């Protein structure tokens, strides 16, 4: 049996994402998937879902969902809040790092994200059809999600009904772990196409995020990275999320989840996997600093990230939302076995 929710407000560029689409880059299909898979894991952990269950990725303005059938539970991860609107006009506020339960007829209105990206999970995950092994939305090729596009008013999405106590919500009890410091990179694979001064500039000066940014990549502005006599073009070869391409103008481009699978610009460095989610939270005019690490340090950083996220997930607690009445407990505590005749009640009340 499944539950059903309907999109009553679409928000802006809200898409369904999971861990991504792997094994098809040789066919030109990008990985896609959540820009911050750690936050996706957190949203799913609060719901008891598989870590890679499909979620809503909110980059700007959130959507509003109405529960049509079945009792469902949502979870918010990231700088995101919401309100649950009850049929009789009651409003319940939902904070980030918490779950909220929707009964049929309830509407949850997701606010705009405070910074970066945030995620809305749902019990069992959003069960849109799998395409090439993933539910992730890749709009440029109309693959995954809901017809390969962002959410639209009237979309109906299946999920699992809630199992468990609907009046007992989950929440994070530890602050979300944020890795401090510069963005770590591995030099290359085409750093030999640049002057020594270019790599020194990348690692020694700040770069500013421009307005040219989306799920495909982020253009940076700063000191120009000069190519050597090998030139600013190469025979097209593979690129991946995290690659830092530098075209002839010397302005670096960091590729993100929806990036193409090959390119002809030399790549001066590659953002390590553990730090790539941090770039999902930058905004235009933010400054980005880079530092070089080796492969062993990159692998250690990924292990440390997994441990931090694991500790956060293990720390989850429960709470009863203010103003919510546990009807099961109420009935169990107030009902008595047997009955009293109305005339006896009237006689005793005289």
Domain residues of the chain, as ranges?
3-171+320-330, 183-304
The confidence score (pLDDT) of residue 343 equals 43
**pLDDT for 208-230, tens place per residue?**
999 999 999 999 999 999 999 99
**pLDDT for 5-20, tens place per residue?**
999 999 999 999 999 9
The confidence score (pLDDT) of residue 180 equals 85
> What is the radius of gyration, based on Cα positions, of the chain?
25
φ, ψ at 346 (rounded to 5°): -65, -40
| pTM check: above 0.75 | yes
Are 233 and 265 within 8 A, CB to CB? yes
- Output the CA angle 213-61-121, nearest 5 degrees: 100
User: Which residues have C-beta within 8 Å of that of residue 129, sequence separation ≥ 6?
Assistant: 135
The confidence score (pLDDT) of residue 96 equals 96
Write down the residue that tokens 């809503």 correspond to: 56
How far apart CA 93 and CA 111 sit, in angstroms, is 11
**pLDDT for 290-328, tens place per residue?**
999 999 999 999 999 999 999 999 999 999 988 666 555
291 pairs with which residues across the strands?
Answer: 184
Q: Give how far Cα 134 sits from Cα of 24, 178, 196, 213, 245, Å.
A: 11, 27, 42, 24, 27
How far apart CA 205 and CA 84 sit, in angstroms, is 46
How far apart CA 73 and CA 84 sit, in angstroms, is 11
- E strand segments, 215-340: 217-221, 237-238, 243-245, 253-255, 262-263, 267-271, 287-288, 290-292, 317-319
Helix (H, G, I), strand (E, B) or coil at 117: coil
How far apart CA 185 and CA 191 sit, in angstroms, is 12
Whole-number mean pLDDT of the chain? Answer: 92
- Pairing of the two strands 290-292 and 183-187: parallel
- Output the CA angle 213-219-221, nearest 5 degrees: 130
How far apart CA 224 and CA 138 sit, in angstroms, is 32
Are 127 and 157 within 8 A, CB to CB? yes
Percentage of the chain beyond pLDDT 90 is 87
Both tokens of 76, joined, read 């918010």
- pLDDT average, residue stretch 255-267: 95
Are 68 and 87 within 8 A, CB to CB? no
CATH number 2.40.100.10 given to 183-304: yes
The confidence score (pLDDT) of residue 286 equals 96
The confidence score (pLDDT) of residue 1 equals 75
State the distance between the two ends of the chain, measured CA to CA, in whole angstroms.
53
How far apart CA 268 and CA 270 sit, in angstroms, is 7
H-run or E-run covering 233: none
User: Which residues have C-beta within 8 Å of that of residue 350, sequence separation ≥ 6?
Assistant: none
């Amino acid at each position: 049996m499944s539950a059903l929710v309907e999109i009553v407000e679409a928000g802006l560029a809200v898409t369904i994402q999971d861990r991504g689409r792997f094994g098809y880059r040789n066919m030109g299909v990008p990985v896609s998937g959540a820009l911050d898979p750690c936050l996706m894991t957190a949203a799913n952990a609060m719901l008891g879902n598989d870590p890679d269950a499909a979620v809503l990725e909110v980059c700007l303005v959130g959507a509003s969902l109405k529960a049509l059938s079945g009792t469902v539970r949502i979870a918010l991860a990231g700088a995101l809040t919401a309100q649950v609107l009850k049929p009789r006009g009651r409003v319940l506020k939902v904070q980030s790092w918490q779950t909220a339960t929707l009964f049929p007829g309830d509407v949850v209105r997701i606010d705009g994200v405070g910074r970066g990206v945030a995620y809305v999970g749902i019990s069992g995950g959003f069960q849109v059809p799998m395409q090439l092994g993933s539910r992730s939305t890749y709009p440029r090729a109309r693959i995954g999600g809901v017809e390969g596009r962002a959410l639209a008013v009237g979309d109906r999405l299946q999920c699992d009904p809630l199992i468990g106590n609907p009046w007992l919500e989950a929440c994070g009890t530890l602050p979300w772990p944020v890795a401090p410091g510069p963005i770590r990179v591995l030099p290359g694979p085409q750093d030999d196409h640049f002057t020594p001064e270019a790599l020194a500039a990348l690692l020694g000066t700040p770069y500013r995020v421009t307005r040219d940014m989306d799920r495909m990549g982020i253009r940076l502005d700063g000191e120009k990275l000069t190519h050597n006599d090998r030139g600013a073009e190469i025979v097209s070869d593979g690129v991946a999320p995290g690659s830092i391409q530098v075209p002839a103008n010397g302005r670096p481009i960091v590729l993100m989840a929806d990036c193409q699978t090959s390119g002809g610009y030399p790549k001066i460095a590659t953002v390590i996997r553990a730090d790539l989610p941090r770039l999902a939270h930058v905004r235009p005019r933010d400054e980005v600093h880079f530092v070089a690490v080796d492969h062993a340090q990159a692998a250690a950083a990924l292990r440390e990230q997994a441990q931090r996220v694991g500790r956060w997930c293990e720390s989850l607690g429960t709470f009863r939302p203010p103003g919510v009445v546990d009807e099961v407990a109420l009935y169990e505590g107030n009902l008595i076995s047997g009955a009293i005749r109305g005339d006896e009640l009237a006689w005793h009340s005289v």
